[in-house]
A and B are shown apart, each in its own frame.
Chain A
Amino acid sequence: MTKAKKPKLLQGNIACAMGAIKAGATFFGGYPITPSTEIAEYMAAQLPKAGGRFMQMEDEIASIGAIIGASCVGHKSFTATSGPGFSLMQELIGYACNAEIPIVIANVMRSGPSTGLPTLPAAQDVMQARWGTHGDHSIIAISPYSVKETYIQTIKAFNLAEKYRTPVIILMDEKIGHLREGFDVSDDEIPEIIQRKRTLDKENYIPYENTPSMVPEFIPLGCGARYHITGLTHNEKGFYTQKSDEVEKFLFRIYDKIEKNKEDICEYEMFEMDDAEVVIVSYGSVARSAKEAVSKLRASNVKAGLIRLITLWPFNDTLIYEKCHGKKLVLMPEMNLGQLSLEVERAIKDTPFYSLHGAKADLIDPKVMADKVISLLKERGEV
């Protein structure tokens, strides 16, 4: 029996792990947790073969500590977790923001709070990804909606972490993590792999220099340049400062290097938006329901379209305003009680808006979305 060439049947979690190895990850420190366990399993089996190291840690605080350490000496480092583990990681996420240490965290979201429903999906950590760690900071969070996109976006997550020297969070959910579908990626679809900008000038090295790019150059620890890494607010040399002008400059720089580069960072997909009068804004696995809902609405002569956000943080408010302002209705379905909806509602100003909550620990049914749009349009006398 000769086997035909076909797309590989692949799970979202495995695609994430494969993407990490493709991106050049050389260190994984983690503590397996449902529904992200397959990522750790795959990394344990495959990362050593690719020349990297896998380390099972005693808990999630140690996991993120380990990957931060590995990144300081120049590794592209990675961990995977879910709700309870993500909560434990929060403090050190802030440390990585402050000390500008690139790390990638995959959070395969499950229903919470606390232990919640380990095997069921949700998108309840969207705000935690943004504001879980204390203090003013910016962060990058990406939410893929298919197995293939998980692979591509994991590579991009590493690229962004390296380019902007910041933590990047891949916000998957149980549905995408455990979904299996055909996976077929051609070489030209794979993004170029980016490495941290390094310098060889050890003598004159200023570790947190205010350059126009806002991202300082890097020399790995242990390579001859002696410098200070700290969670304290620091000056360009890395030492504690409380001088108001230095403090302000520092905080604005680590914030602006992300918030002022939204055009480079933020990705999205438009679906049937050319003549859309009703817009659904969605992300992650629920965007798959939303696409089906748009098709259903088009079949009943409602001109519906979808904006699918791939990058959730930094929030692309300009795009949302431009595409949604003045439409008949904007609907935002989310597998939570309304988190990113708050941002969308803020961005679209006075456009009619409805936030559709999904708290059933399951995907929102496309029919529920379509019916809601039609009933809201009827209420407003639009159909």
Chain B
Amino acid sequence: MKTQIRLSGTGGQGIIKIAVILADAALYDGFNAVQSQAYGPESRGGASKGEVVISDTEIFYPKVELPDIVLCLSQEACDKYAYDIRSGGILLIDSQHCSVDMEKLQGVNIYASPIISTAKTVIGNPLCVNTVALGTLVSLTNTVSKDAVLMAMEDNFKTKILPLNIQAYEEGRKLCMKLLQENKRRAKAMERLKRRPSK
């Protein structure tokens, strides 16, 4: 089993950081993991991409060939990195900063959530965008276990900023719960519509 994950956004959002945490968490879960990246020469701004391949066998080609899971936190990232996702894959985007062409994403499970504004308003720190997104993504996809992610976060954040990031991660999980509840409600509504006798 091979899972190919692509995380993308703007340089400075901490995309590569959460790619590292995800790969580290996969190692804690006993998988093989490879993390690679592509970024421009600028330290902030520009599209940034982190890729993680998780597998129970040896990984040769370290890059994502056909993504199963894609995260986009900026419009530029959406335009560049969202559309080659496999059918049946999961796409998570920021609901206020990204829009996608649904026509071109037939068969893809698309989730839109206010990740960036949650970091700003609920956590009060826009730097936590990445860990909020990580929380939403991990609970949405279950690629790695929650325990593994927490251990990986402990390894990759300084003690001073770890609690804040764990809080952000939890907020991200809550966003996922909301998404799933909404989906359930929508599915039920659809069901009711179907059951209603046609006139």
Contact = CB atoms under 8 A, between A and B. Distances in A.
Nearest to A364: B61
Nearest to A361: B38
B86 interface: no
B41 interface: yes
Contact of A9 (B20, B40, B62): B20
Given A180-B20, A363-B63, A9 B33 contact: yes
A179 B34 CA distance: 7
B151 A365 contact: no
Nearest to B42: A119
B94 interface: no
Nearest to B35: A180
B36 A1 contact: no
Given A7-B27, A181-B33, A288-B60, A1 B38 contact: no
A178 B27 contact: no
Listed residue (B32, B36, B39) with the most chain A CB atoms within 10 angstroms of its CB: B36
Listed residue (B27, B33, B60, B63) with the most chain A CB atoms within 10 angstroms of its CB: B60
Contacts of A118: 41
A167 interface: no
Nearest to A120: B38
B65 interface: yes
Nearest to A4: B28
A333 B133 CA distance: 38
Contacts of A178: 36-37
A250 to B, nearest CB: 45
B150 interface: yes
Interface residues of B, number: 25
Given A6-B27, A7-B27, A180-B23, A34 B41 contact: yes
Contact of B147 (A1, A119, A285, A295): A1
B107 interface: no
B38 A182 contact: no
Nearest to A288: B60
Contacts of B60: 288-289, 291-292, 295, 366
A323 interface: no
Interface string A148-167: 00000000000000000000
A3 interface: yes
Contact of A182 (B27, B36, B37, B40): B27
A234 interface: no
Interface string B53-77: 0000001111101000000000000
B80 to A, nearest CB: 14
A291 B27 CA distance: 22
A9 B27 CA distance: 8
B174 to A, nearest CB: 21
Given A180-B23, A363-B63, A367-B65, A175 B151 contact: no
B61 A9 contact: no
Interface of A: 1, 3-4, 6-7, 9, 34, 118-120, 175, 178-182, 285, 288-289, 291-292, 295, 362-363, 365-367
Interface of B: 20, 23-24, 27-28, 30, 32-41, 59-63, 65, 147, 150-151
* 7 shortest interchain CB distances as A-B pairs: A292-B61, A291-B60, A180-B35, A9-B24, A292-B60, A181-B34, A6-B27
